[in-house]
Structure 1
Amino acid sequence: MGRVDGTSGASRTGGTSRTDGTGGTGGTSAVGERGCSGCVGCDATTPWAELAAEMRRIKGATELSYGKLAQRTHYSRSSWERFLNQKQLPTRVAVEEFAAAAGTDPGPLLLRLERSLAHETAARDAAREAARSEKPALTPAPPAARRARRESGLPGLGRPLGLLAAGALVGGGLVAVLGRAARLRKGR
């Protein structure tokens, strides 16, 4: 239960309270606590956190509820909840519609959105690069495996193509047998 000053009891026990006064204790949903996903050396306040915080500030100042935002835009209440609580990065159209519903200039919000998109792209690329560098290098097959492939009866094709070739041979034989059975049934 939240205290009178808008913070939660969790902040006294090591958790953090959200700046929007809801008293959440989740590490990634609180404003300013959503760290980068893969960036090295970034501070905890990302452009996405700044965008969400500014949109929440405007929402509070204009006394817009999620329901009112949904009525004035093409987005649902749940979409606005995701956008403003950093569960999903809003689209450019969503930011423009939000600004129009709130009667504010969309320019500063769109600038923050562009920085957020660039930051998320850089973080995703850094994570991919880190994952790519952690993959073990491909090594050639040991001599025993090459010998086993050679002795499988279909040299040079490898197992997948060898199985495909064997399937084609069996399938071709099956078609021939079924064709002959159909001719015999017709009385030929």
Structure 2
Amino acid sequence: MAVGAHGTDKVGGTGGRGKAEGAPCSGCAGCRPTTPWAELAAEMRRIKGATELSYGTLAQRTHYSRSSWERFLNQKQLPTRVAVEEFAAAAGADPAPLLLRLERSLAHETATRAAAAAHDRARDGAPPAAPAAPAPRRESRLPGLGRPLGLLAAGALVGGGVVTALNRAARIRKGA
């Protein structure tokens, strides 16, 4: 049985490089990352290795767990902007290049999903979809308050009414 460049079998539809199509590269020297997401993950792994940070140390220095860092750095989940910023701070690295790669990754993922959806529609014989217009922003029913604050205010009003009703019922029972 032949062994591929990644040390895996070529059998089972794994292509010439020995890696399943679309599977993330673990950052070996023989493979060049091909997507912005792969480049981001590879750069974060390089920084992690250079600073000798473990997943546990990253978890201690940030608000993310060891398993989250494993997913981010092994390209199982795209990290958030906050995660990239915290990673850079924990490693003592400049966050700007990583954030640029993250933005490219997000744009690439969006474009890839849009292309896949267009391909699916074309395959099904549906006409191409028009670009989606942004949804109109709904105004809060309480003028001058944002939605979260408006909901909080509405909850306080309802809660105050319930407390008033319960107090009134208690006074009526005591008086009777």
TM-score, normalised with respect to structure 2: 0.58
**Separation in structure 1 between the aligned mates of residue 48 and residue 27 of structure 2, nearest angstrom:** 18
In structure 2, the residue matched to 1:13 is 3
Q: Which has the larger radius of gyration?
A: 1
Distance 1:67 1:104, change over 3 A: same
Q: Which runs of 4+ in 1 moved over 3 A?
A: none
Distance 1:68 1:132, change over 3 A: same
In structure 1, the residue matched to 2:106 is 117
| 2:54 paired residue among 43, 65, 76 | 65
Partner secondary structure for residue 72 of structure 2: helix
**Separation in structure 2 between the aligned mates of residue 98 and residue 30 of structure 1, nearest angstrom:** 20
In structure 1, the gaps of 5 or more residues are 1-9, 19-24, 34-42, 139-188
Q: Work out whether residues 73 and 98 of structure 1, in 8 Å CA contact, stay in contact via their aligned partners in 2.
A: yes
**Separation in structure 1 between the aligned mates of residue 91 and residue 126 of structure 2, nearest angstrom:** 54
Q: Work out whether residues 48 and 91 of structure 2, in 8 Å CA contact, stay in contact via their aligned partners in 1.
A: yes
Deviations 1:13-50, CA, capped at 9 Å, x for gaps: 235249xxxxxx653132479xxxxxxxxx96101110
User: What is the deviation of 1:63?
Assistant: 0.6
User: Residues 96-107 of structure 1 correspond to what in structure 2 (within 5 A)?
Assistant: 96-107=85-96
Distance 1:112 1:44, change over 3 A: closer
User: What is the deviation of 1:134?
Assistant: 1.2
TM-score, normalised with respect to structure 1: 0.54
| 2:66 paired residue among 63, 74, 77 | 77
| 2:24 paired residue among 29, 49, 52 | 29
Partner secondary structure for residue 87 of structure 1: coil
Partner secondary structure for residue 88 of structure 1: coil
Q: How many residues in Structure 1 have an aligned counterpart in Structure 2?
A: 113
Deviations 1:156-176, CA, capped at 9 Å, x for gaps: xxxxxxxxxxxxxxxxxxxxx
Partner secondary structure for residue 69 of structure 1: helix
**Separation in structure 1 between the aligned mates of residue 102 and residue 79 of structure 2, nearest angstrom:** 8
In structure 2, the residue matched to 1:51 is 40
Q: Work out whether residues 33 and 39 of structure 2, in 8 Å CA contact, stay in contact via their aligned partners in 1.
A: no
Q: Work out whether residues 52 and 85 of structure 1, in 8 Å CA contact, stay in contact via their aligned partners in 2.
A: yes
1:135 aligns with 2:130: no
